Amino acid sequence: MDKKQSFESNLKQLEEVVKALEGNEVSLEEMLSLFENGIRLTKECTTALDEAEQKINILMKNRDSGELEEVPFQGIGE
């Protein structure tokens, strides 16, 4: 695995941060630390999703020639 944690690991940690912040059992200092960690994890997850979207290409069969060609991925609403 790379130095960066996996998307799944980051997402799980982010969920744990949210649960801790929703609870009433952490001090203000702990809340700030959790919030900072949550922001970092959110940025890492967003970056991973952006990189994955950039790598996605759909192979479509050209109706005329029968050959495969790469077509950029079109996300929902694009």
Q: Encode pLDDT of 6-38 as tens digits.
A: 999 999 999 999 999 998 889 999 999 999 999
- pLDDT tens per residue across span 52-75: 877 765 455 555 666 666 666 666
Q: pLDDT at residue 5 above 80?
A: no
Q: Is residue 78 part of a domain?
A: no
Residue 3: CB atoms within 10 Å: 4
By residue count, the chain amounts to 78
Domain extent, residue 44, equals 7-72
Q: Is residue 38 part of a domain?
A: yes
- pLDDT class of 77 with cuts at 50, 70, 90: low
Does residue 58 contact residue 73 with C-beta atoms inside 8 Å?
A: yes
Q: Is residue 1 part of a domain?
A: no
CA pair distance 38, 45, nearest whole angstrom: 10
Question: Which tokens in the block code for residue 2?
Answer: 């790379």
Whether the full predicted model's pTM is greater than 0.75, yes or no, is: no
DSSP conformation class of 46: H
* Count of the separate structural domains present in the chain: 1
